[in-house]
Amino acid sequence: MPTARRAMLLNTATPMLLAAACAGPTTQAPASGKAPTGKVTVLSYQTSSPRLDLQIAMYADAAKELRTSGLEVEFVPTSSADTDVITKAVLLHAAGTPAEMFESSNLWRQIDSIIGELTPYFKRDKLDEKQWIPDSINAMKDAGGKLWGMPISISADAMAYNVDLFEAAGLKPPPVDPDDRSWTMEVFLDYARKLTKGSEQFGMESKCTGGVDWMNWPTWFGYGPIDLKNKKVTLNTPGYQRGLQYWIDLQLRYQVWPTSAQLNALRSTSGQDSFLTGKIGMKGIFNLATKPDFRWGIAAMPYTPSPAEPRNVAARISVHGLYMDSLAKNKDGAWEVFKYWLRPETNARYVMSDGHIVSPLLSTKSEITMKDFQSRMGADPKAFLLMAQRSKVDGWLYYLLKDWDKAKNEIDKVFADAKTGKVSVAEFSQRAQQLTEQMTSF
Report the helix count and the strand count for the chain, using DSSP H and E: 17, 11
pLDDT (0 to 100) of residue 365:
62
Q: Any residues with CB less than 8 A from the CB of 144 and at least 6 apart, and which?
A: none
pLDDT (0 to 100) of residue 224:
97
pLDDT (0 to 100) of residue 31:
58
pLDDT (0 to 100) of residue 20:
37
Rg over alpha carbons for the chain, rounded to the nearest Å, is 22
Q: Any residues with CB less than 8 A from the CB of 423 and at least 6 apart, and which?
A: 414, 417
Q: What is the DSSP letter of 175?
A: P
Helix 51-67, helix 344-353: angle, nearest 10:
150
Instruction: Round to whole Å and give the CA distance between 352 and 372.
Output: 9
Residues of the chain whose pLDDT is less than 50?
Answer: 1-5, 7-27
- CA-to-CA separations, 399 to 69, 146, 271, in angstroms, rounded: 38, 17, 30
Instruction: Round to whole Å and give the CA distance between 373 and 390.
Output: 21
CB 265 within 8 A of CB 201: no
Instruction: Round to whole Å and give the CA distance between 315 and 283.
Output: 12
CATH 3.40.190.10 residue spans of the chain? 3-152+318-365, 158-315+394-439
Q: Any residues with CB less than 8 A from the CB of 283 and at least 6 apart, and which?
A: 159, 160, 161, 204, 205, 206, 208, 274, 275
- The correct CATH number of 158-315+394-439 out of 2.30.110.10, 3.40.190.80, 3.40.190.10, 3.40.50.300 is 3.40.190.10
Instruction: Round to whole Å and give the CA distance between 92 and 79.
Output: 16
pLDDT in tens, 119-166: 999 999 999 999 999 999 999 999 999 999 999 999 999 999 999 999
Instruction: Round to whole Å and give the CA distance between 297 and 3.
Output: 36
pLDDT (0 to 100) of residue 13:
44
pLDDT in tens, 52-100: 999 999 999 999 999 999 999 999 998 776 689 999 999 999 999 999 9
pLDDT (0 to 100) of residue 83:
80
Strands 232-233, 150-156: parallel, antiparallel or unpaired by DSSP? unpaired
Report the first-to-last Cα separation within the chain, whole angstroms.
24
pLDDT (0 to 100) of residue 18:
35
pLDDT (0 to 100) of residue 32:
57
**Domain 3-152+318-365 bears CATH identifier 3.40.50.300:** no
pLDDT (0 to 100) of residue 64:
98
pLDDT (0 to 100) of residue 308:
86
- Our CA dihedral for 316, 429, 257, 199, rounded to 10 degrees, sits at 170
pLDDT (0 to 100) of residue 4:
47
Predicted model pTM: 0.90
CB 176 within 8 A of CB 383: yes
Instruction: Round to whole Å and give the CA distance between 178 and 302.
Output: 7
